Structures are given as structure tokens and as C-alpha cells.
Structure 1
Amino acid sequence: MPEQRTSHAVLAVSGLVTSFRIGGRWKPIVDGVSFEIGPRETVAVVGESGSGKSVTALSIMRLNTPGLSRVEGSIRLEGRELLPLSDAEMRRIRGNEIAMIFQEPMTSLNPVLSIGFQIAEALILHRGLSRAEAEAETIRLLEKVRIPAAKSRFHEYPHRFSGGMRQRVMIAMALACKPKLLIADEPTTALDVTIQAQILELIKELQKEEGMSVLFITHDMGVVAEIAERTVVMYNGKAIETGLTGDIFKNPTQPYTRSLLSAVPKLGSMKGCARPMRFPVFDRATGESDAPAEMLATVKATERAVLEVGGLTKRFEIRSGLLSSVKGWVHALENVSFNIKSGETLALVGESGCGKSTTGRTVMRLIEPSSGSVLLDGVDMLKLSHGELREQRKRMQMIFQDPFASLNPRMKIDTAIAEPLVVNGIANRSDARDRVADLLLRVGLSPDMANRFPHEFSGGQRQRICIARALALEPRLIVADEAVSALDVSVKAQVVNLMLELQARMGLSYLFISHDMAVVERVSHRVAVMYLGEIVEIGPREAIFQNPQHPYTKRLLAAVPIADPARRLQKRPVLNDEIKSPIRSADYVPPVRRYREVSPGHAVMIWENGVGKQD
């Protein structure tokens, strides 16, 4: 959809067509996209995976694979046409005039070079600074993106930084040459909600200071409302709707835009609902949805706990050498206790590094705990031999965050799902085929998909396959570790609905590990909030969301982006500090924590001086 603009544009894209060579033929992936970005303006390009958002950004940067891609149309930077430029001319523009931040900073940073060296190298190459001048400028840039103790961290390597701090390093690198345009491709998708809020505020502040224009690519409409003056909605390679963000949110003209907006989970939408509620499912052709309904359990839940975790503690030792003594401990888990009843979902929430995933893996005994107990239907999993543990593991399964990494790329789906049945002696290869067909139907896939390989499925379909594999042994408990975090909003809704339906039908219990508070509010019966390896607040879902008590819980809820463009200019109170380190000295003795009961089943850790400080 062409866009009429009268102001002088920093970037003007007109009739952009990007085609890839597939099977000897050119297939258009981006088809006729047009938009403009004015000075100091932020434009969001929004859509689901496969809509052509990232290909549009790569086309502007001319980073698509040569020989296998073809870009047509017009891309003008301050009136200068970019498509006819030579590779050498384009290299001078990249970094100098247009900079890009990618979704995953760890794949963009060289792991064997210090972060200071990598930023300084760009300054030496593009701005001709000496090594000493480049190092001084790098420290200034690191301070500008709010990295604490920037001078001392200059020589540290990427693995020593958290995800949010690595993304700040990427922003510093992008700003090094003072570009006119910053392209941010899903820069907050993989980040925790509090870190996401920090990065969004940082980009807005730096834009004001540097006078940049920003092209922000995302599938999260809440993020769009937070950051963009104007929005381009993409679907199937086309820009189907373009306009002011406020107008699009208030009066979307396209059914697909309406479905995107309606699928955004909103905090507080579950007020008054006793049980988890499925997400509405939208028809992209009409934008209409079915009415969401509470999941009424068809399998009677019992008061007996399926899982009882008591005093779970895990500490990783730190040594300076292989034969040296212990210098310190990483206190990954400290005296964690909770239970999960039959047919119940307990959500475990918190930032990266708080101990959520360690809890899930320790419950499964993929990590051996330092102390504590894990009882599955009264059987202590930590006292079992390997043979006994294998037998009990049939009753508890795990779904991991990345379904592609969880599936063998060389193994067809029928073999992957049948493997647990064959290994545990429940069925032979022939009988397992019938079970696989039934499991695929149960998760909403067709049995004729069984002969495909993982790469032939979408992200949502691969996660369904992982759920089918987890169900193969008919477990009592499923540990879902960030199982929907990386999925688009509509695919996320489908997978969550599937998990709720299976729970209602089979009486499954879930330990649902997530940092997405809006999804947690939909799916959980109870919520436990973790910080630095400890549970700081636990209680019924409604109590945690409607009456949070601990400062950290309030901080998590306040950081959730709200899909309301009217709030864009409001500055949110965002803390820019990193989550504290769980590393302690070898002689450190953890304090005894005390809890108070706010209401039945709702307990909160008593914190120091009422300001939420913890050791």
C-alpha cells in the first residue's frame, strides 16, 4: 500500500520487491512494499514470522545472500538511491549512515574478542580514530547505553554479560558512527519483560539525544504502542496497512490488523475468572474471533499433590583451577519449596538468571541438587537409582523453549515421537506407528505429517510435535520451560490453548516456566515469583496479579508493555541495574528467610527495610 508523505524523508522505500531463487525460479518474499521514515521518527514494521519484516530490513541494508536473492524497486537514503551502489560504496554506508541491531546479540558478537575491542574496531575502521581515541570513545558509548562500570568491563568477553547487557553493547556498537538511521530487528523478543522495558526506554532516550530515525521491526503490538509514531503492518510479504500508530490501534481497517491487536494478551483481563482461560482464535480473513472460554476441567482434580518440592537447593562450585580449592559458590537455588496438585498449573516467573530453568531441570533430575526433596506422587525422585529414575521419568516429561533444538534434524517426526515408547519398552516399532498417529491428532496435526523432518514445520507446529512426544508416555506432570516465549502471538495462543485443552481432558499438571506475565495470567492457577534463586512471593494467580506485595513482583508487572499508543510519551519508572549476582564466597551462610501470609495461600518474603533489598 503506497504511502503519501510530504515531509523530507531520511529513508524512502518505494515498490520494494525482494525475490529468492527457490527451485530454479524467483519467488517474491517482499512484494511491493512502500513507506517513509522522517527525521527523528520511529516507524514500526509489524507482522508474524514469515510476513517479510526481516527480509525488508536486510534488503535496505543490502545484506541478502548474493546470487540467491534479487532486490527491485527504490531505496533512497536522504535522496540517494542505494540499490545501484557498488559493494564497496554500500560498506561505507553500513555503520556510518545506517546501523542495525539484530535479535540475538550473542550471534552478532564475536565470542573470542572483548566487547571493547569490537566496538573500538568499528570506530577505527569507519571514523579513522587512533587506538587510544577509539578506546576512550568506546568507554563513553558504553556509559551512554547505561552499562555500569564501563571502564572495567571494556576488556570483558560477551559471555560475561547478561542478555540485556549484550543488547546494550550492540546498541553502543550501532551508535558508534552516529548513523542517521537505526534498524532494530526484533531487539527485545528474546529478553525478559524488565530488560525489554529498559531497552525500549534506552532506544527512545538515545534517539532524542542523537537525533536518529528508527525502523523498529517486531511482532509485539504492545512494543509497537510503546515506541512507534507510525506503523506498517505486513502480511504475506505485502504492506497491507500503514498509518499513525494511534489511528491503527483505534480504527484498524484490515481484518489481519484487527486479529493482531486482539490477540495481544492484556494484564488484568482475567480479573474475576476462577480458572485459566484459553486465548481467542482469530480468522485472518474476517478478523472475527471465537469467544474465549474458561477451561472447565473434565478430569476431576484431587487435593493430593502430584509434585512436592521441599527445601530444594543447588549450588555450583567455583574453582580457579582443576585441582584448586573451592573459591566460591553460585547459589542457583536456595531453599525452594512448592507443590502442584493434579490438574493444576503452577507458573514460575522471574528474570533470566533467577533460577527458573534450574528449578525445572532439577525437578526432572537433569541437574543433581545439592539438597532438598522432590516427591512425585509420594516417591522421592532424588533417592532413586538410575534404573528406578528411568521408570519414574515416564510420569514426568519436559517441553523445552526451542523446539528445533529439541528435535533431531536427521530424524523424521514419527521416529522422534515413537522413540520414548520404544526405549521404555511400551511398544515395538510397528505398534508405535498407531500411537504416533493418535498423538499427532491429539495435538492438532495430521498423521500424514509423520514422515516429514523438523525443518519442514513452522515453529508452532514443531512445538506441537514436542508436546506430542511429551504426551507419548502419558505423564502426570509436564515441565514447560519457556515453551511459548519465542513464538508469534497467534502461534503462542494456539499452543497455549492446546496445553489447556489437554490439561482439561487428561488431568495434566504443569510447572509452567515463563517471563511473559500476560500469558502466565491466562494459563496459571497459582504463581511463584523467583528472584536470585529464591521464591519471594507465591499464591493464587488472582492474588499475585491483583494484589502483588513484594517490590520485585510489582516491578515485573509494571514492566509489561501496554498496547496503548496514548502512553508512548509517558516515561516509565524503569530501573537500569542488572539483576544481582548469585555468586557468593565459599564461607557465605545464607540468611534464614521469613514469610508472612497475606491471604489464604498467598505468602510473601519479608524484605529488608521495606525496599526490597536482598542479600
Structure 2
Amino acid sequence: MTASSPVLAIENLTTAFKTPEGWRDVIRNISLTVNAGETVAIVGESGSGKSVTALSTLRLLPPGKARCEGRILLDGKDLLKVSEAEMRAVRGGSIGMIFQEPMTSLNPVFTIGNQIAEALVLHQNLSWKAAEAEALRLMERVRIPAAKSRLNEYPHKFSGGMRQRVMIAMALACRPKLLIADEPTTALDVTIQAEILHLIRELQREENMGVLFITHDMGVVAEVADRTVVMFRGDMIETGPTEAIFTAPKAIYTKSLLASIPRLGTMGEAKAPRRFPEIDPRTGEGLEGREMKPVAAAAKPVLNVANLSVRFDAPNGRVHAVEEVSFDLRPGETLSLVGESGCGKSTTGRAIMRLVNPSAGSILIDGRDVAEAGARELRAIRRTSQMIFQDPFASLNPRIAVGSAIAEPMLSHGLRSKREAKERVAELLEQVGLPADVADRHPHEFSGGQRQRISIARALALEPKLIVADEAVSALDVSVKAQVSNLLLDLQEKHGLAYLFISHDMAVVERMSHRVAVMYLGEIVEIGPRAAIFDNPQHSYTKRLISAVPIPDPSRRGVQRPSLSEEIRSPLRPFDYMPPRRTYREISPGHFVQEDAAVSPERLSA
């Protein structure tokens, strides 16, 4: 297919939603094309209309509550005029879709293998046996460890990153002409992100597939996109070749978007986190953020974790999710946990909050033992420690207005009256970049990034001493990511908050952290001050993580060529497995790397 005959052509698309006041346009006069073998990226703030454009293309918006005007041509056929039966053949067949939130896209009552195989049976006319064999091959191709044994597991048993890989396998199963990827690497760590992007490009070359790529990660845009479309509040404000957008942006908003990008290696010799660049709204120029306060060395830790292990029994073995993890965290300090999805980062955070029970080890918050606490004491501990969850949609009650969800902890702990709580809710919403009048809306009325901001506001409601932030800014576009990250830093400096910051975004980790711990297969393989980890990484896995970070420079596209052949080792072990005793070598003060040396894990908390 030639450039004159695009796979997808969107012409003057306007989509409106029905409201009590009447129809309200949410995207206006959007026009773009995607040619065979071409990748077009749509970027913009959360709520700008990126995902609505994709959902309009697939006609997945609720009938009667949304209407689309204009034309959406797939191989010349207007999708707005075909029957619903024809659209069902298009979805998953001619067009593959990777959704932003995998847990809401996967059916919780069917196994992973069944859901991948179903698409093959419907669109490829394969038998169930052949479809299941192909489903296994796809799971292995997107590097799901122990794929054969996990084929019959259910979505809730997979980590966020693993579920996203399943969604990618499903979308690519029928080798579509067009792939719409809505934040396909949001939940993935940098190494898997690099490999998945490489995999999509590889399949794109094999099948001459067009890709419509929706993302807020400008490093990813630089790496994959041939052309870029910039959206702002429902309007397409700039479009052109990606290199031209990066080197000579015309719109002020595009300039501010690019200025907000956290770039790896910009911290230099800084001893403490540094605010993200602030944007001059008149010029769109980025102003370098100031450095924050260093942590007082003599401060007593607010969190002590010693020899923490978490294991889960499976039918054919035991999952060693977290193994002999030790660290401490002082007031005003940020310790970042980084590593591949499934490495145990989130499980560590959940064990600290006792949302999963530790198998061994101790956890002390403000000197109180979390593992041994009764119901009343645990309630008091949770007054001083809060968690921002990875999936904001799953952690917000869909039946409760977001204002009530934010106020609930304050009312439950008796900290404020209803009137005071309402005032505090308005203040918190504005602090995280949302207008106070959204308090009466429900979670489904917000974009993914907006829901994450609501989750952050709720975690801040009790003014805790410790916050476990599990991918707290992963769903946010770059400008809001900078805003919310700066908010977290300001609150930390003002109130002496301690953050356990769980993230796969290494550029954000570098800027937010005092110390960094690198996890692999449930174990800490390297831990130390931020500068030591980023400037002098010692473990081979740490080096691999840092080298996989996408660079927001289109001229460097293709420099990284990750290998897809390396299998991720599974944390599943035989029931009688005894983990080896790990030792650590001290490279420099506070910088430890796992190897056969004479430093015990207990010293990591020293």
C-alpha cells in the first residue's frame, strides 16, 4: 500500500458526549492518516482527547451517549457507516487494540490462554487446540516467564506489567493491518518497554502494519514515531514529522510539553532530589527546578524492613516473590525501588502496608511492628502510612463520587468534620491539578491520568509520615507528571514525608530519589545513593536497566537494539527450595552490590 492510499484516514472527526446541559464536543475536527508500515503518535495531556480518538475509530463509545461526525476510513471503507456485525469483524481482526488499563480489559473469569485463543478462533478460524498452541507462542514472544504453566491462570494472578504483555499478545494475535496502541508500555519497566517497542516494530516490518501510538512518554515517541500529532483539550494543535516536532516546535504547548521531559543524566553531582523543570506559560520555555533539602543523616528511620520474604503457594511450586529484602527509610527521604515487572517491587510495598502477609522478616513503621499488629494498632499505623496504588481505576470505588472517596479516610479517622473534610477535599484536588468542582463526579468520568491524581489526593488526605507510591506518576502525561512530582517533593520538604517510590521510569527515579534499590527476582541486587547507582552501576542488571531508558531524541532512534531471546527467569520454585544466603560488597559508603562477598544483608539498613 502506498502513502497515497493510507490504511487509516480520519477526516474532520468530531466526537460529542451527551450531558445534562446537552451535547458537548470533546474532540473537534481531528484529521490524520496512518500509512502501511508507518507509526503515527498522538501526544498530549491526560484528558486531551487522545483515547477518545482511538475509541471513536473503533466505535467503542456508548451508543446514545456519544456521537461521531466526520469520516473514519479503513482501507477506504467508512467505519462510521458499517453495521455493528461488520465492526465486530474489524475489531481484533483488521484493527488490533492495546488498551491503557489491562485489568479492565481482561475478563476476570476466563484464563489468559482462553482469552488469547478466543480472538484466534473468531478471526482466524483456527481450532481451539491450534489456537491454544498459538496463544502459548504469543505469550512466549512477549516474554511472559513460564508461559506454559501460566496459560491457564487468571488475570488477577499477573502483575500490572505482565497483564499489559498479555494485552499486547492479544492485539497482535491476528496480525492486524492497523494496531492502535493506547499507552502500551505505561505499566512496563524500561527493559521490557524497549523490547516490546522493538517487538512491535519487528511485527510492523513483517506485516507492513500501520500503528497509531497514543502515549505521554516523549522518549517513546522519539524512538518509534514517524509522524507526531499534538492534542490539547480536544483540538489538534500541531502535527508533522517527529524530528521536526522535537527540533522546531511551533505551538507554545508543544514547547512546554518538550521542556517538561525528565532526562536521564541531568542531575550531575546533586546530593538531593531536584524539582522538575517549571514551565513559563508565556514562552513555553522550561526553567530548571531547584534542588531540594538533603536528608538529615542523624534522623531516626520511619520505616525499617529487615529480611523481608513473601512467598505464595502455587499448584506446582512456591513463588518466591520477595526474598530477604532489607532497607530503612528516614523522614524526608525517598528510596526508589526499580526493576522489571514481576520482580517483587509492588509486593514489597503491599507487604509493608500489610495488604499481603509477610512469610518472614520484620517491618517497623515508627517503631511499631506491622506484622504483629492487631486490628486497632494496624489502624493507627495506617493513619501514618498511606499507599498510592498502581491501578487507579481498580483502587477507586466506582459507586462513590471522588470527593467522598478522598474525604472518607479523614472522616473514618475522625480528623475533620464533614464541612472541614469538604474544604480539605477541594484543597487537595487543586493541589494535584484538578478543579474543585469535579468532587461530585465518579471515577469512570475521568481519564487514566486524572484518576491517578485523585488517588494521590486521597493518599495525602491523612497527612501521613510514610507514603508507598506504587507507580504514582506512571499514568500521567509529561507536563502533569512534572507537576505532581514537584507537588510530592514540596510536600516532602514541608512535612518531612518519607517516600518508598516504586517506579519503572528511570528518569523520574533519578530526579526524585535520595537512594535507589534495584530488584531482580524478588531480591535487592544493588542499593545505594542516587548518584552512585546512576553514575557508577555495578550489577549487570542495573547497567541493563539504565541503558534501556528511551532517549527523547529522534536522531538517536534505533541506537538500542535489545535482544528478545533472553528468557526472564521465573520466581516459581519447588516446595523444598532453600534460597542461597546472599552477600553484598560495599563499593562506596552506602553503595552495596550483591555478590559473593563478606557483607550481610542486615548492613543494607545500617
Shorter-chain TM-score range: 0.7 to 0.9
Name stretches of at least 5 consecutive residues in structure 2 with no aligned partner. 598-606
Cα distance between partner residues in 1 of 2:138 and 2:434: 50
Name which one, 1 or 2, has greater alpha-carbon Rg. Answer: 1
Of the structure 1 ranges 372-381 and 457-466, higher mean CA displacement relative to structure 2 is found in: 457-466
**Residue in 1 that maps onto 2:76:** 79
Map 1:112-131 onto structure 2 (within 5 A). 112-129=109-126
Q: Tell me how far apart the structure 2 counterparts of residues 223 and 132 of structure 1 sit (CA, whole Å).
A: 37
Describe the superposition over 1:454-509 as per-residue Cα deviations: whole angstroms up to 9, x where unpaired.
66777666656655554555433222222222222222222211111111112222
Aligned residue identity for 1:83: L
Q: How far apart in 2 are the matches of 1:151 and 1:313? A: 26
1:309 to 305, 312, 327: 305
Q: Which moved more, 1:115-124 or 1:277-286?
A: 115-124
For 1:102 and 1:318, locate their aligned partners in 2 and report how far apart those are by CA, in whole Å.
29
- 1:68 paired with 2:65, answer yes
How many Å apart are 1:603 and its aligned residue?
0.3
Question: Shift of the alpha carbon at 1:283?
Answer: 4.9
Deviation at 1:315, TM superposition (A): 2.5
1:573 paired residue among 532, 550, 562: 562
**TM-score relative to the length of structure 1:** 0.85
Query: Is the 8 Å Cα contact of residues 308 and 326 (structure 2) preserved in structure 1?
Result: yes
The question of whether the paired residues in 2 share the 8 Å contact of 1:300 and 1:507 is answered with no
Q: Secondary structure at the match of 2:254?
A: helix
**1:367 counterpart SS class:** coil
Q: Distance in 2 between matches of 1:559 and 1:534?
A: 20
Q: Match of 1:606?
A: 595
- Could you tell me which of 251, 260, 274 is aligned with 1:277? 274
Residue 16 of structure 1 and its aligned partner are, at CA, apart by: 1.7
Shift of 1:106: 4.2
What's the CA shift for 1:201?
0.6
1:49 partnered with 2:38: no
Query: For residue 104 of structure 1, what is the amino acid of its counterpart?
Result: E
**Aligned match of 2:487 in 495, 498, 503?**
498
Matched, 1:222 2:219: yes
What percent of counterpart residues are identical? 65
Partner of 1:99: 96
Residue 538 of structure 2: aligned partner: 549
| 1:572-591 alignment runs, 5 A limit | 572-575=561-564, 577=566, 579-591=568-580
- Matching residue within 519, 539, 543 for 1:530: 519
1:102-148, Cα deviation, whole Å (9 max, x unpaired):
23344434444455554554444444455666566666666666667
State the match for 1:28 in structure 2.
Answer: 25
Structure 1 residue aligned with 2:499: 510
Comparing 428-437 with 81-90, greater Cα deviation is found at 428-437
CA distance, structure 1, for counterparts of residue 32 and residue 46 of structure 2? 20
Q: Offset of 1:245 from its aligned partner? A: 0.7
Q: Shift of the alpha carbon at 1:258?
A: 1.2
Which whole-Å CA distance do the structure 2 matches of 1:141 and 1:373 have between them? 40
Aligned with 1:240 (options 233, 237, 247): 237
SS in 2 for 1:592: coil
Give the one of 515, 524, 549 matched to 1:560.
Answer: 549
Gap change, CA 1:45 and 1:441, over 3 Å in 2: closer
In 2, distance between residues paired with 1:441 and 1:66?
33
Q: Tell me, yes or no, if the aligned pair for 1:418 and 1:436 is still in contact at 8 Å.
A: yes
Distance 1:138 1:431 in 2: 54
Shift of 1:251: 0.7
Q: How does 1:89-488 map to 2 (within 5 A)?
A: 89-129=86-126, 158=155, 166-283=163-280, 286-296=283-293, 302-318=298-314, 328-403=317-392, 405-408=394-397, 416=405, 419-424=408-413, 466-467=455-456, 469-471=458-460, 473-488=462-477
Q: Tell me, what secondary structure is at the counterpart of 1:499?
A: helix
Once structures 1 and 2 are overlaid, which stretch shifts more, 399-408 or 595-604?
Answer: 399-408
What residue in structure 1 maps to residue 601 of structure 2? none
The secondary structure found in structure 1 opposite 2:592 is strand
Task: Classify 1:570/1:343 alpha carbon distance in 2 versus 1 (closer, same or farther; 3 Å).
Answer: closer
| C-alpha distance in 1 between matches for 2:309 and 2:452 | 30
Q: Structure 2 vs 1, CA of residues 181 and 284 (structure 1 numbering), >3 Å: closer, same or farther?
A: farther
Q: How many Å separate the matches in 2 of 1:210 and 1:307? A: 52
Q: 1:331 to 1:66 in 2, by over 3 A?
A: same
Is the 2:168–2:184 Cα contact (8 Å) retained in structure 1? no
Counterpart in the other structure of 2:600: none
* Cα pair distance change 1:166/1:357, threshold 3 Å: closer
Instruction: Tell whether the 8 Å contact from 2:45 to 2:480 is kept in structure 1 after alignment.
Output: no
Change (3 A) 1:113 1:472: closer
Moved more, 402-411 or 589-598: 402-411
Question: Can you list the C-alpha shifts for 1:378-417, whole angstroms capped at 9, x where unaligned?
Answer: 4444444443444444333333334554455555667655
Tell me the amino acid that sits aligned with residue 262 of structure 1: A
CA distance in 2, matches of 1:337, 1:444: 36
SS at match of 1:305: coil
Of 210-219 and 150-159, deviating more is 150-159
Bigger shift: 139-148 or 593-602?
Answer: 139-148
After the TM superposition, which of the residue ranges 258-267 and 571-580 deviates more from structure 2? 571-580
Shift of 1:67: 2.4
CA distance in 2, matches of 1:60, 1:343: 47
Structure 2 residue identity aligned to 1:86: S
Q: Which amino acid aligns with 1:567?
A: R
**CA shift for structure 1 position 76:** 2.5
Q: What does residue 604 of structure 2 align with? A: none
Which ranges of structure 1 fall in alignment gaps of 5 or more residues? 321-327, 609-615
Which letter maps to 1:557? Answer: I
Question: Given the two structures, how large is their TM-score scaled by the length of structure 2?
Answer: 0.86
- How far has the Cα of 1:208 moved from its partner? 0.9
For the Cα contact (< 8 Å) 1:460–1:495, is it kept in 2?
no
- CA drift of 1:523 comes to 0.9
Residues 164 and 199 in structure 1, CA contact (< 8 A), matched pair in contact too: no
The total of aligned residue pairs comes to 596
Contact 1:310–1:372 (CA under 8 A) maintained in structure 2:
yes
**In 2, Cα distance between the equivalents of 1:130 and 1:557?**
43
Displacement of 1:585 after TM fit? 2.0
Q: Is the 8 A contact 1:443 1:465 kept in 2?
A: yes
Comparing 532-541 and 585-594, the one that deviates more = 585-594
Which one-letter code corresponds to 1:314 in the other structure?
Answer: V
Q: Give the distance between the partners of 1:15 and 1:394, measured in 2 at CA.
A: 51
The answer to whether the 8 Å contact 2:17/2:66 transfers is: yes
- Does structure 1 retain, via aligned residues, the 8 Å contact 2:449–2:475? no
Relative to structure 2, which stretch is displaced further, 462-471 or 88-97?
462-471
Note the C-alpha offset of 1:61: 2.4
